[in-house]
Structure 1
Amino acid sequence: MAFRPVTHVLFDMDGLILNTEDLYTVAFQNIVSQYGKNYTFDLKLKLMGLQTHETADMVVSALNLPITSEQFIEESKKQFDVLFPDTKLMPGAKRLIEHFHNNNIPIGLATSSSKESYDLKVNKHHTELFSLFPNKTFGSSDPEVKNGKPQPDIFLVSAKRFPDNPKPEQCLVFEDAVNGVLAAKAAGMQVVMVPDPRVPKNLTADATLVIDTLVDFKPELFGLPPFKP
């Protein structure tokens, strides 16, 4: 498959840069276990990339929980306060972000997380790395992002915040979630997918490129400066 050269790069965060998708699973299972329910990977697949309120609505509805979405969000926040401060970086994330920064490639963060959630995940261990993103868009707390992934809003808003306002086709997105891939594609952008190994192969078909970890990415495929040997 031929890839188009790009000039700007947008990163998702959860499950791509940070191991927070694993922590979301622990948090949500802790909540639904109180009601004798199981938070399955099939359900997780459907809601990865959604905004906070959309996630809560789907979990409460799908598992028929005897609580409101607002109560689920409040319970989630209690779990996150405990779990999120000790997030870890995913393989290859630091190397790739620093590589783009050092080569003056404009990078932006496009996460469905809220600013509050972002601070919990980043502020204890990862502020230096995330300071390399001058452009950050928080889907769950940004009034310009009307709809969560798989709608294209977050990537279009994030791209617009680069000073030189690139066209969608000039942007490359990194994602781990099916909804995120669909959002990038709907925005008219190429997308590199780093899926959880449990994601069925047929659900990765919309990605421009699928790799196992960010370690495997070759920037020169998209006209970006290669790693030095």
Structure 2
Amino acid sequence: MAFNSVTHVLFDMDGLILNTEELYTIGFQQVASRFGKEFTFELKCKIMGQQSKEFAGIIIDDLGLPLTVDEFLTETRAIFDNLFPQCKIMPGVERLVRHLHDHNVPIGLATSSSKESYDLKAVNHQDLFNLFPCKTWGTSDPEVKKGKPSPDIFFVAANKFPDKPAPEKCLVFEDALNGVKAARAAGMQVVMVPDPRLDRSLASEATLVLDSIADFKPELFGLPPYKN
């Protein structure tokens, strides 16, 4: 399998760097349960990677919840204030991020989360996130007009690198189908590390699909290899 060499790397955060997708499921189910509804994996796949007002509207419509978008976000925010600081780093992530940083490969964060949500999630992982000189919080960034699967966030994130690389020189790491679609729409290669429950046939747009970031071989994309 042949891939094109890249010079810059962009990382999604939720479900890719941090296990927050599990926490989102807990929080959304808590709200759904009040109305006798189930937050399904199918619905989860539909909203992953979207900005907060986008996913709130879809959950409300799909489940028929008698809430406004603002009411839903206020209720879930109170739940996530307690849950998000408990999140953990996913396997293989810290090794890869530190490896790229140590080899002067420019890395950036491209998350649909708001800055406020990011602060809760990153509170116990500052050493890792300090390695990212460029961060884009899609929900809080006025330049990101539309959430994933629109490519906006990846164009904005790539433009924050001082040398403003061409899209084909950027490699994206994603866990969500919406994120994969956004990266491809931006003209970037994308490594997908999906939820193990996802039907892999749905991930055909991804450049490479892995079970874990721990399985990634940087040299496949012209990046410095790990030393054994």
Shorter-chain TM-score: what band?
Answer: over 0.9
| TM-score, scaled relative to structure 1 | 0.99
Compare 180-189 and 194-203 and name the one that shifted more. Answer: 194-203
Determine helix, strand or coil for the equivalent of 2:70: helix
**Partner of residue 48, structure 1:** 48
Write out aligned runs for 1:101-140 (5 A): 101-123=101-123, 125-140=124-139
- Which runs of 5 or more residues in structure 2 are unaligned? none
Residue 57 of structure 1 aligns with an amino acid whose one-letter code is: G
Q: Which runs of 4+ in 1 moved over 6 A?
A: none
Determine helix, strand or coil for the equivalent of 1:35: coil
Separation in 2, partners of 1:142, 1:148: 11
**Partner of residue 206, structure 1:** 205
Write out aligned runs for 1:50-65 (5 A): 50-65=50-65
Separation in 2, partners of 1:200, 1:75: 31
Separation in 2, partners of 1:47, 1:66: 19
**Partner of residue 160, structure 2:** 161
For 1:45-89, what per-residue CA distance to the aligned partner results, in whole angstroms no more than 9, with x for missing partners?
Answer: 000000000010000011010111110000110010110011101
Separation in 2, partners of 1:160, 1:82: 34
- Which runs of 5 or more residues in structure 1 are unaligned? none
Write out aligned runs for 1:1-229 (5 A): 1-123=1-123, 125-229=124-228
Determine helix, strand or coil for the equivalent of 1:23: helix
Separation in 2, partners of 1:109, 1:187: 16
Separation in 1, partners of 2:73, 2:180: 25
- TM-superposed CA distance for 1:159, in Å, is 0.1
Separation in 2, partners of 1:183, 1:73: 24
For 1:124-162, what per-residue CA distance to the aligned partner results, in whole angstroms no more than 9, with x for missing partners?
Answer: x10110000010000011000000000000000000000
Residue 125 of structure 2 aligns with an amino acid whose one-letter code is: H
Determine helix, strand or coil for the equivalent of 2:108: strand
Determine helix, strand or coil for the equivalent of 1:191: strand
| TM-score, scaled relative to structure 2 | 0.99
**Number of equivalent positions:** 228
Residue 163 of structure 1 aligns with an amino acid whose one-letter code is: P
Separation in 1, partners of 2:181, 2:202: 10
Percent sequence identity over aligned pairs? 64
Separation in 2, partners of 1:173, 1:161: 15
For 1:182-228, what per-residue CA distance to the aligned partner results, in whole angstroms no more than 9, with x for missing partners?
Answer: 00000000000000011111111110000000000000000000000
Determine helix, strand or coil for the equivalent of 2:23: helix
- TM-superposed CA distance for 1:2, in Å, is 1.4
Determine helix, strand or coil for the equivalent of 2:34: helix
